[in-house]
Amino acid sequence: MTSFKLFMAYPGVFYSDDGQILRAMQTASNNGSMIMMHAENGIAIDVLIAQALAEGKTDPRYHSLTRPWETEAEATNRAIMLARMTGAPLYVVHMSAKQAVKILQETRDEGWNVFGETCPQYLYLSLEDHLSQPGFEGAKWVCSTPLRSKAEGHQDELWKYLRTNDLSVVSTDHCPFCFKEQKELGLGNFSKIPNGIGTVEHRMDLIYQGVVDGQITLERWVELCSTTPARMFGLYGRKGAIQPGFDADIVIYDPAGRTEIGLHKTHHMNMDHSAWEGVVIDGHVDTVISRGRIVVENNEYHGAKGHGQFLKRGLSQYLL
Ligand SMILES: [Zn+2]
């Protein structure tokens, strides 16, 4: 294993204190591994949650309002400072606050090995349009870091940071829950809603729409979704490019096609709703080839059990 995810977010559940983080980073700095950080100030967030619930604020939108951008920016800054003390590379996962990325940008400009990723939900979805939907609907979009306010302008800034490579990767933080019996655990108490959105099968389509919308170039789409992740996590040489010696993993994409995301359309994940219901993409996956074998064609899956191979990752090939 060459990368390790730590959490600053969930005291009592998943949580590393500053001393533990520092020790992990010292070790990473010695053996060349990468520390991935879920950067939110969980101690402060837990106070805000308790206060909101005491005031009777129980709807899903309070999930975002009790995790304000400051909690992400503060934790990101602290993680960066701890990493700088040790010289370890740092990769901040699923960033959604523009202020947090700004701190990352300033540190990158000074030449440090600090990196950030964001996810489609933070580029397209928002506190106002999704998390604040009437009743309990907003529970579909409860994830952490949270969807943020459009009025605060995070979404546009994140696209900008994808263009400037201050955000280097688009991942999904794929973590699906059914609405029935799972998301419903948080009826009457937003803090009991399981955190997570299922996006993994839509990532390439959703980020391709950024090309159509003029947010990123075609080449940057490939870089953000394939090449950089492969280099960041030590798979370059086999994955991340179409070159002699690499695996023949190829998506043939039809820019004249159209994809409507939703249940009974493009949805194959084992969950009873789609966080992306009704979203239309101005493009379509034509063919998917895995190690030279066609696994998707004409909207049908032709893969087989046993085709997958375990790959041992090397150290990051992306460091300065
Ligand atoms: Zn996380």
Compute the distance from residue 35 Cα to the ligand 1 centre, in Å.
Answer: 13
Report the Cα–Cα distance between both ends of the chain, in Å, rounded.
21
At residue 207, the pLDDT reads 98
Compute the distance from residue 134 Cα to the ligand 1 centre, in Å.
Answer: 27
Compute the distance from residue 175 Cα to the ligand 1 centre, in Å.
Answer: 10
Question: Three-state secondary structure along 139-176?
Answer: HHHCCCCCCCCCCCCHHHHHHHHHHCCCCCEECCCECC
Compute the distance from residue 274 Cα to the ligand 1 centre, in Å.
Answer: 20
At residue 114, the pLDDT reads 98
Element containing residue 4 per DSSP (H, E): strand 3-7
What does the angle CA 165 – CA 168 – CA 171 come to, to the nearest 5 degrees? Answer: 145
In a domain, 99, yes or no: yes
| 149 and 122 Cβ atoms separated by less than 8 Å | no
Cβ neighbours around 280 below 10 Å, total: 11
In a domain, 17, yes or no: yes
**Percent helix, strand, coil in the chain (nearest 5)?**
40, 15, 45
Query: For the chain, how many structural domains are there in total?
Result: 1
Q: What are the tokens at 43? A: 């101690």
Compute the distance from residue 92 Cα to the ligand 1 centre, in Å.
Answer: 9
Give residue for tokens 């979404």.
155
In a domain, 105, yes or no: yes
> The domain spanning residue 131 has which CATH number?
3.20.20.140
pLDDT tens figures, 71-97? 999 999 999 999 999 999 999 999 999
Compute the distance from residue 142 Cα to the ligand 1 centre, in Å.
Answer: 13
Compute the distance from residue 170 Cα to the ligand 1 centre, in Å.
Answer: 14
Cα diameter, the chain: 62
Q: What residues make up the domain containing 229?
A: 3-242
Long-range contacts, 220-225 (Cβ 8 Å, 24+)? 220/162, 220/163, 224/162, 224/168, 224/169, 224/170, 225/170
Which residues are bridge partners to 253 per DSSP?
Answer: 285
In a domain, 259, yes or no: no
At residue 320, the pLDDT reads 79
Compute the distance from residue 224 Cα to the ligand 1 centre, in Å.
Answer: 19
Compute the distance from residue 1 Cα to the ligand 1 centre, in Å.
Answer: 18
In a domain, 129, yes or no: yes
Compute the distance from residue 286 Cα to the ligand 1 centre, in Å.
Answer: 32
Q: Among 73, 259, 71, 228, which residue's Cα sits nearest to residue 157?
A: 73
Question: DSSP code of 240?
Answer: S
At residue 148, the pLDDT reads 98
Q: Which residues surround ligand 1, an ion (CB under 5 A)?
A: 38
Question: Mean pLDDT per 10-residue run, the chain (320 residues)?
Answer: 97 97 98 97 98 98 98 98 98 98 98 98 98 97 98 98 98 97 97 97 98 98 98 97 97 97 91 96 98 95 94 94
Radius of gyration of the chain (CA): 20
pLDDT tens figures, 167-203? 999 999 999 999 999 999 999 999 999 999 999 999 9
